[in-house]
Chains A and B, each alone.
Chain A
Amino acid sequence: MERADDKPETVPAVRWGAGLQASLFAKGRAGRRALRLPPWDGAPVDTALPAAARRAAPCDLPALSEPEVMRHYTQLSTLNHNIERGMYPLGSCTMKFNPRLNEEVAALPGFAALHPEQDDADAQGLLEALARLQDALCRLTGFPACSLHPAAGAHGEFLGMQVIRAFHLARGERDRDQILIPDSAHGTNPASVTMVGMRPATLASRPNGRIDLEALRRAVGPRTAGIMITNPNTLGLFETEIGAIARVVHEAGGRLYMDGANFNAILGKARPADMGFDVVHINLHKTFSTPHGGGGPGAGPICVSAELAPFLPGPVITRREGQWRLEAPATPCTPSVHSYFGNVGVCLRALAYILSNGGDGLTRVAERAVLNANYVLACLKDILPVPHAEGCLHEFVASAAAWKEQHGIRALDLAKRLLDFGVHAPTVYFPLIVDEALMIEPTESEPKESLDAFVAAIRQIHREARTDPELLHNAPHTTPVRRLDEARAARQPDLAHLGPCNCG
Chain B
Amino acid sequence: MPYTPHTAADVAAMLARIGAPSVDALFASIPAEVRLPGPLDLPPGRTEEEVRREMKRLAAANRSQEELVSFLGGGVYDCVIPAAINAIAGRSEFLTAYTPYQAEVSQGTLQVIHEWQTFVCRLTGLPVANASMYDGATALTEAARMGAAQRRRPKVAVPTALNPRYRRVMATTLAGEDIALAEIPRRADGTTDPAALRALTAAGDVGAVVIQNPNYLGLVEPVDELAAAAGGACVIACVNPVSLSLLKAPAEYGAQIAVGEAQPLGVPCSFGGPLLGLLACADEFKRLLPGRVVGRTQDVDGRDAYVLTLQTREQHIRREKATSNICTNQGLMALRATVYLALLGPEGLVELGEANRVRCEALRDALRRVRGATLPFPGPVFNEFVLRLPRPAREFRVFARERGLLAGIPLAGFAGCGEGDLLVAVTEKRTAADLEAYARALRDFLGA
Nearest chain B CB to A82 CB, angstrom units: 5
Q: Does A416 lie within 8 Å of B104, measured CB to CB?
A: yes
Q: Does B322 lie within 8 Å of A191, measured CB to CB?
A: yes
Nearest chain A CB to B221 CB, angstrom units: 9
In B56-107, which residues have CB < 8 Å from any A CB?
56-66, 68, 70, 72, 74-76, 78, 80, 82, 84, 86-88, 90-100, 102-107
Q: Does B273 lie within 8 Å of A341, measured CB to CB?
A: yes
Interface hit among A100-108, A213-221, A403-411, A456-464: A100-108
A401 interface contact, C-beta 8 A: no
A255 interface contact, C-beta 8 A: no
Q: Does A363 lie within 8 Å of B39, measured CB to CB?
A: yes
Q: Does A25 lie within 8 Å of B348, measured CB to CB?
A: no
Instruction: Please report the C-alpha to C-alpha distance between residue A62 and residue B4 in the assembled complex, in whole angstroms.
Output: 45
Most buried by A among B113, B273, B350, B352: B273
Q: Does B52 lie within 8 Å of A101, measured CB to CB?
A: yes
Q: Does B220 lie within 8 Å of A98, measured CB to CB?
A: no
Smallest Cβ-Cβ distance to B70: which chain A residue: A115
A140 interface contact, C-beta 8 A: yes
Instruction: Return the contact of A493 from the options B6, B33, B295 (Cβ within 8 A).
Output: B295
In A474-504, which residues have CB < 8 Å from any B CB?
474, 476, 479-486, 488-490, 493-498, 501-502
Instruction: Please report the C-alpha to C-alpha distance between residue A291 and residue B275 in the assembled complex, in whole angstroms.
Output: 16
Contacts of B5 in A (CB 8 A): 445-448
Contacts of B284 in A (CB 8 A): none
Instruction: Please report the C-alpha to C-alpha distance between residue A416 and residue B33 in the assembled complex, in whole angstroms.
Output: 43
Nearest chain B CB to A176 CB, angstrom units: 14
Q: Does B42 lie within 8 Å of A448, measured CB to CB?
A: no
Nearest chain B CB to A383 CB, angstrom units: 15
Interface string of A149-181 (1 = CB under 8 A from B): 001111101100010010000000000000000
Contacts of A250 in B (CB 8 A): none
Smallest Cβ-Cβ distance to A345: which chain B residue: B270
**Given that A293-B94, A336-B172 are contacting pairs, would A361 and B2 also be in contact in the complex, using a CB cutoff of 8 Å?**
yes
Contacts of B406 in A (CB 8 A): 115, 117-118
Residue tally, chain B, CB below 8 Å to A: 204
**Given that A105-B56, A343-B273 are contacting pairs, would A81 and B105 also be in contact in the complex, using a CB cutoff of 8 Å?**
yes
A6 interface contact, C-beta 8 A: no
Instruction: Please report the C-alpha to C-alpha distance between residue A479 and residue B370 in the assembled complex, in whole angstroms.
Output: 65
Q: Does B296 lie within 8 Å of A125, measured CB to CB?
A: no
| Number of interchain pairs (Cβ within 8 Å) | 703
Instruction: Please report the C-alpha to C-alpha distance between residue A56 and residue B431 in the assembled complex, in whole angstroms.
Output: 30
A318 interface contact, C-beta 8 A: no
In B170-226, which residues have CB < 8 Å from any A CB?
171-173, 175-178, 220, 222-224
Nearest chain A CB to B357 CB, angstrom units: 7
A128 interface contact, C-beta 8 A: yes
**Given that A355-B54, A362-B40, A367-B23 are contacting pairs, would A292 and B328 also be in contact in the complex, using a CB cutoff of 8 Å?**
yes
Interface hit among B147-155, B297-305, B413-421: B297-305
Q: Does B380 lie within 8 Å of A53, measured CB to CB?
A: yes
Q: Does B171 lie within 8 Å of A336, measured CB to CB?
A: yes
Contacts of A402 in B (CB 8 A): none
Residue tally, chain A, CB below 8 Å to B: 205
Smallest Cβ-Cβ distance to A52: which chain B residue: B224
Smallest Cβ-Cβ distance to B409: which chain A residue: A117
Nearest chain B CB to A382 CB, angstrom units: 12
Nearest chain A CB to B277 CB, angstrom units: 9
Instruction: Return the contact of A55 from the options B55, B177, B252, B320 (Cβ within 8 A).
Output: B252
A13 interface contact, C-beta 8 A: no
Contacts of A104 in B (CB 8 A): 52
Q: Does A494 lie within 8 Å of B318, measured CB to CB?
A: no
A90 interface contact, C-beta 8 A: yes
A43 interface contact, C-beta 8 A: yes
Contacts of B346 in A (CB 8 A): 58-61, 63, 501-502
Instruction: Return the contact of A371 from the options B26, B102, B163 (Cβ within 8 A).
Output: B26
A354 interface contact, C-beta 8 A: yes
Q: Does B96 lie within 8 Å of A35, measured CB to CB?
A: no
Q: Does B247 lie within 8 Å of A479, measured CB to CB?
A: no
B432 interface contact, C-beta 8 A: yes
Q: Does B112 lie within 8 Å of A348, measured CB to CB?
A: no
In B226-259, which residues have CB < 8 Å from any A CB?
244-249, 252
> What would be 23 A-B contacts, judged by CB atoms less than 8 Å apart?
A28-B345, A32-B345, A33-B345, A49-B246, A59-B346, A61-B119, A61-B346, A70-B84, A112-B269, A116-B271, A122-B68, A155-B138, A237-B29, A275-B34, A295-B329, A338-B138, A345-B270, A355-B46, A356-B3, A367-B26, A393-B27, A481-B104, A496-B127
| 10 pairs of A and B residues whose beta carbons are closest in the complex | A340-B272, A125-B61, A293-B332, A110-B59, A116-B272, A295-B331, A391-B29, A358-B45, A359-B42, A42-B432
